[in-house]
Copies of this chain bind each other. A is one copy, B any other.
């Protein structure tokens, strides 16, 4: 179990980042979380802070000096820091340009400066936009994202690929489906739980509820990342779809949330339209064959993932603010 490596996790106080930090510490590694605590929350690191192998750097990835200085001496960078508010990015595209694209350029420059040669990156199925092929495998092209968020993740993938070549970096890039679980600060499940806490009788659903997506538990996500990372072979700059192979309609998610929260007779009110918001991809199926061929599959189905996520969110004092 004891791998004893030094990991540097950007976005380490975020939803997925903090779960990765917990897992890496449980395995006996040293972990530095780098997070400006804007979307991330220090309370997600309460468990991590009990380890003396853990430290938190509260700083912005746009502060290239601090980023470069604090990355020194690490073996592996796990780059999960980003703007994760997709609708917010559609309203203000600077959010994704700065906190994803430019931030990633800074992370890569810091890796080159510090001779760090291993990178795990949190990309997204949003790079596919409305894919011409469903289920969508990693080889689909051309990539036509429909949100600034998806565009920024694509920009990061390209930058990482160029740095792999120019600075002898090995990269594992993961295109995530909808990751769900405790500590979520956005997304449809978070949104439903928050609304139903305010009004347990009426639930507003964005779009027509027919949007269909792949849901995927955060612990499975972290497990899949580390499985691919530790699996021998592969390309110098490799890309993996990471998700479960089952999906759910948004209306069915609403039913599961209502059920898990022990509510009854909730009226669903739809805002209408195919999309939940501008840039929302209404129907997406992740092709996870590549990970399956590597020997890994998600332990939980989309339904189980949603149920567990609701349980965790409702057990938290209050969902984190977006």
Considering only CB atoms and an 8 Å cut-off, how many residues of chain A contact the other chain?
37
Interface string of A115-151 (1 = CB under 8 A from B): 0000000000001010000000011111111111011
In the complex, whether A105 has a CB less than 8 A from a CB of chain B is: yes
Known contacts A158-B150, A159-B151: A166-B279 contact under CB 8 Å:
yes
Cross-chain contact A97 with B93 (CB below 8 angstroms)? no
Main secondary structure of the interface of A (DSSP, over half): helix
Instruction: Kindly list chain B residues whose C-beta atoms are within 8 Å of the C-beta of A211.
Output: none
Cα A130 to Cα B165 in complex, Å, equals: 10
Instruction: Kindly list chain B residues whose C-beta atoms are within 8 Å of the C-beta of A144.
Output: 158, 161, 237, 239
In the complex, whether A37 has a CB less than 8 A from a CB of chain B is: no
Interface string of A224-252 (1 = CB under 8 A from B): 00000000000001010000000000000
Cα A129 to Cα B138 in complex, Å, equals: 16
In the complex, whether A57 has a CB less than 8 A from a CB of chain B is: no
In the complex, whether A35 has a CB less than 8 A from a CB of chain B is: no
Instruction: Kindly list chain B residues whose C-beta atoms are within 8 Å of the C-beta of A165.
Output: 129, 146-147, 278-279
Choose one: B97, B141, B145; the contact of A140 (CB below 8 Å): B141
Choose one: B142, B159, B237; the contact of A155 (CB below 8 Å): B159
Choose one: B138, B148, B152, B158; the contact of A151 (CB below 8 Å): B158
Cα A35 to Cα B142 in complex, Å, equals: 29
Instruction: Kindly list chain B residues whose C-beta atoms are within 8 Å of the C-beta of A256.
Output: none
Cross-chain contact A161 with B109 (CB below 8 angstroms)? no
Instruction: Kindly list chain B residues whose C-beta atoms are within 8 Å of the C-beta of A266.
Output: none
In the complex, whether A90 has a CB less than 8 A from a CB of chain B is: yes
Cα A140 to Cα B90 in complex, Å, equals: 27
In the complex, whether A101 has a CB less than 8 A from a CB of chain B is: yes
In the complex, whether A26 has a CB less than 8 A from a CB of chain B is: no
Choose one: B101, B140, B142, B278; the contact of A101 (CB below 8 Å): B101
Interface string of A161-183 (1 = CB under 8 A from B): 11001100000000000000000
Cross-chain contact A146 with B159 (CB below 8 angstroms)? no
Instruction: Kindly list chain B residues whose C-beta atoms are within 8 Å of the C-beta of A141.
Output: 138-143
Instruction: Kindly list chain B residues whose C-beta atoms are within 8 Å of the C-beta of A146.
Output: 161-162, 165-166
Choose one: B93, B105, B138, B166; the contact of A142 (CB below 8 Å): B138
In the complex, whether A102 has a CB less than 8 A from a CB of chain B is: yes
In the complex, whether A21 has a CB less than 8 A from a CB of chain B is: no
In the complex, whether A71 has a CB less than 8 A from a CB of chain B is: no
In the complex, whether A157 has a CB less than 8 A from a CB of chain B is: yes
With contacts A147-B165, A148-B166 known, what are 11 further pairs, Cβ within 8 A?
A93-B108, A93-B159, A138-B141, A144-B161, A145-B162, A146-B161, A147-B162, A147-B166, A151-B155, A154-B157, A155-B159
**Selected A-B contacts with CB under 8 Å, 8 pairs:** A93-B162, A102-B102, A145-B162, A146-B161, A151-B162, A152-B158, A154-B155, A165-B278
Instruction: Please give the residue numbers on chain A whose beta carbons come within 8 Å of chain B beta carbons, in ascending order.
Output: 90, 93, 97, 101-102, 105, 108-109, 127, 129, 138-148, 150-152, 154-155, 157-159, 161-162, 165-166, 237, 239, 278-279
